[in-house]
Structure 1
Amino acid sequence: MKRSLIAGMAMATLTSAVLAQPYYVRGDFNGWNNNTDPMVQTDTNRWEYTVTGLTPGEIYEFKATVDDWSSTAPGSNAKYTADANGELQINLFDTETHADGWMPEGKWRLGYADNGSFDWELMGDMNGWGGGSEWFLDDMGEGLHSGTFSIAAGTYQFKFRSQNNWDFSIGDDFGNAAGNNEIILAEDTLVQFDIDMSNGRWRTTIIPAPGSAALLGLAGLVATRRRRG
């Protein structure tokens, strides 16, 4: 019995040690070679790190990784500019199960503080990958950028990019130059596209048309609740 207990404790200790391995931010600013200054855990599955001493406005590529590179986020590099203080504040979410209606799902997420250096637009099959001001997203504050567009029925590949150029883009893993995202619409639809930069995630939301079954169902639910009250 004692041997079994000791063996179990040893296995638990080993498992904890493996799970507790540190994460590092590596990028252009440190030669992709940091293994001495780890990220700091600030919440469950959330780790933060602020890169300092950078050139304000300079563009940098980076990612978060364990020391041996066996796990990284994003799969493609993240890319952003240093703020006016020469800093980049980076957030890692080290779980593959987010279950919050946002993407990417099934992989780690990496986000970064929005310093307002540029805004975003929607690029894809729905606009011939031409973009333009009618496809600009609005800055909602705190790293959230949102736009709602009327799109015909069909299957569409798309990405988010910096307005008017491809200096920065967000693909399926929230990295720069990642794979395309995809949306399938059974009918002409209003669709809301969101980017949440600090949390390293994006989503699409179908906006029900006035008088649609979804809205009528919601109205009925509200009426039922009122009658019960």
Structure 2
Amino acid sequence: MENDIACNGNDSINSNVVSNDARNNLLVRNESISAVHGSLKLPIGIAIASKSQCCVCRIPLVSPTITIKKEDRNNILIRRNVDIPKGSRCCKDHTSNGYLSREAFFKLTAYKINYRIFDSNYIIDTMEKLRTMVHYQKHIDFDDPSSLSDADYKILTGFTRKQHNRVLECIPSTALKNSVNLSPRCALACLLMKLRLGISNAALASMLGIDN
């Protein structure tokens, strides 16, 4: 009899726990649904939107000019919370191979602050881009124009970025091919670093985040 009472008591407790868990689970689900269908209003910096004024240094544009690429716009939005309106242009000197240089990446500032509403799909997409960026980020990345400054190039290879570009242009495209680990630009940088720093292949691979 006592065992029956104890069992009934436990059943009652268990049912309360289940009931509470179910209630909590329902709340969690409701919150998730709210998050999925909701949106966020956030402050965001806006760069100058002009086809006659450089969005980086803000001086009148003089040909040749470059239209800011979508990749740069996404990168700056994620890393610096500055939105560059589509179609914005900059001086060619602020770019390397058509992309913003590291100096320009950090020189560009917001012209004003606006509040924008971002829906859940945009937020999820931005988080995916951030995960991808972090996952594939190398220790030293010569393929990313915003990764290294001219001073970094000089220290690591003995050449400035422009000198590096000139040397790369002089090499026949058939002589350097893309591989899983190395682009032609990175392959040239590896050779220059090897000659300048005199480090082992293993150390070089570790610095560049590639297989030895």
Larger proportion of helix: 2
TM-score w.r.t. length of structure 2: 0.30
Q: Which has the higher contact order (CA 8 A, sep 6+)?
A: 2
TM-score w.r.t. length of structure 1: 0.29
Larger proportion of strand: 1
Larger radius of gyration: 2
